[in-house]
Amino acid sequence: MAGKSVLIRNAEIYTPYEHIRRGFILVEEGVIKAIGKESYSGSRNGLEEIDLDGRIIGPGLIDTHIHGLYGYDTMDARQESFIEMSRILPRYGVTSFIPSTVTSPHEILLNVSKAFKTAYDAWNPSMGARLLGLHLEGPYINVEKAGAQNKEFIRKPSIEEFMQYYEESGRLIREITVAPEIEGALEFIRHVSSLGVVVQIGHTNATYEEALNGVLAGARKATHLFNGMRGIHHREPGVVVALMSSKSVFLELITDFIHVRPEMIRFVIDYAGVDRITMITDAISATGLQDGEYELGGLKIIVRNGVSRLANTGGLAGSTLTMDRGFRNVVSLGYSVGEAFAMASTNPARAVHADKDPGIGMLKPGFKADMVVLNDRLEVVATIIKGHIVYSR
């Protein structure tokens, strides 16, 4: 279906801002050309037609915080691991992703940056999900809120060191998680933000004021809100309230109902508004595999009933969530399918400027034809990337 023109018809379309009950999408050269509310009346000459028989279609899901799955891990620092992640993710409706590192020694982060660039250069849309860039989770975070980040390798922010990763990655570091209260952090945030890198506040013990200073310096996103950060107190609202009340800040939520209770997820969405929420998985290499012992950045992890915890402290260590399940979880809380698409695709794209480049996160003329087809139980039926059907069942 790649180079040709494709007509997708009889579709229940979520753009996601508009809900069209029976419409069509016309795709040319992997780009959305037109979306219609009625049946297609143009020329059908040379058109490949796909009848969705009333099934749901929306923008492909975008996971902007994922460490790995099926035994593959960003920290393998291998091109193959990124490519395999790209191949597997469309099963879960994912059309783009940002692999995430963990706090590690300098040489390893350098090797991950290099390997990412080779995978990025090797990718083509018939392979699988787009590699949008790299997320550095640490190493410039607070040891007091390390969570599943190895404390041994946490260090003070260094622009010089970061620039080595940035250059080696082909300037493809799209996000970095920083604790704003540590020495040198504000200057660091100002510098990397000016490069267009999205700074996320996370693994932090910041007070309300310290977190606001981070936002003023340019931070744009919260790394898994609540997890790995100081909690809320009515006399010291802390980093959570600072980020929630900063209207320019996007809020990552792990919607597995384990990291954050469903009632709290609803509280955040209702307070901050659907348009600021970006669903993530924070999935680790054990995702899609059986319970057992695994590793994350040199730390021992035990997965039981799909819940991933540090062996030594019992603290949560990433997840085994997939985006399609997170999507269904949010709908089960009473949000509409359109709102779930906004939180699982549109906002993740907007938060990292991917709505502008490469033009994803919405079904709209001029945007890439990255789409997911769901049945009425919201299970993934097909995943389309730049007009290629890369997964169907």
Task: Identify the sign of the CA torsion 305, 66, 256, 138.
Answer: positive
CB closer to Zn ion out of 140 and 208: 140
Binding status of residue 63 toward Zn ion by CB under 5 A = no
Name, in order, each residue with C-beta under 8 angstroms of 315's C-beta and a sequence gap of 6 or more: 147, 148, 309
List phi, psi (to 5°) of 15.
Answer: -80, -20
Least distance to Zn ion, CB of residue 265, Å:
18
CB closer to Zn ion out of 289 and 389: 289
**Segment lying near Zn ion (by CB under 5 A), choices 111-119, 194-202, 258-266, 277-285:** 277-285
Binding to Zn ion (CB under 5 A) within 96-115 occurs at: none
Q: Among all chains, which residue has been given the structure tokens 């083509």? A: 124
**Segment lying near Zn ion (by CB under 5 A), choices 52-60, 233-241, 279-287, 360-368:** 279-287
Task: Give me the 139-158 binding string for Zn ion, x by CB under 5 A, dash otherwise.
Answer: --------------------
CB closer to Zn ion out of 73 and 282: 282
Burial class (CB in 10 A: 0-12, 13-18, 19+), 97: buried
CB closer to Zn ion out of 282 and 355: 282
Query: In this structure, what token pair is assigned to residue 163?
Result: 């620039």
Task: Identify the sign of the CA torsion 385, 110, 137, 357.
Answer: negative
Least distance to Zn ion, CB of residue 68, Å:
10
CB closer to Zn ion out of 221 and 368: 221
CB closer to Zn ion out of 102 and 115: 102
Least distance to Zn ion, CB of residue 259, Å:
11
Is residue 284 within 8 Å of 299, Cβ to Cβ?
Answer: no
**Segment lying near Zn ion (by CB under 5 A), choices 7-15, 88-96, 110-118, 137-145:** 137-145
Select which of 63, 76, 282, 370 is catalytic: 282
Least distance to Zn ion, CB of residue 346, Å:
22
Q: Among all chains, which residue has been given the structure tokens 């509409």? A: 336
In whole angstroms, what is the distance from residue 370 CA to residue 58 CA?
Answer: 9
Q: Which of 282, 339, 355, 370 binds Zn ion (CB under 5 A)?
A: 282
Rama region for 4: left / alpha / beta (φ>0; ψ in -120 to 50; rest) = beta
- Between CA 66 and CA 293, with CA 128 as vertex, the angle to 5 degrees is 40
User: What is the number of alpha carbons within 13 Å of residue 75 lying toward its C-beta?
Assistant: 20
Among residues 96, 38, 126, which one has the least CA distance to residue 371?
96
Task: Give me the 356-375 binding string for Zn ion, x by CB under 5 A, dash otherwise.
Answer: --------------------
Is there a catalytic annotation at residue 282? Answer: yes
**Segment lying near Zn ion (by CB under 5 A), choices 32-40, 43-51, 106-114, 129-137:** 129-137
Per-residue CA distances from 31 to 73, 207, 222, 281 (Å): 31, 45, 31, 27
Least distance to Zn ion, CB of residue 9, Å:
40
CB closer to Zn ion out of 63 and 137: 137
DSSP 60: P
Least distance to Zn ion, CB of residue 386, Å:
27
Strand boundaries in 211-322, DSSP class E: 221-222, 250-254, 277-280, 292-296, 299-304, 307-310
**Segment lying near Zn ion (by CB under 5 A), choices 33-41, 133-141, 163-171, 255-263:** 133-141
Least distance to Zn ion, CB of residue 5, Å:
40
Active site residues: 282
- In the complex, the residues that contact Zn ion under the rule CB under 5 A are 137, 282
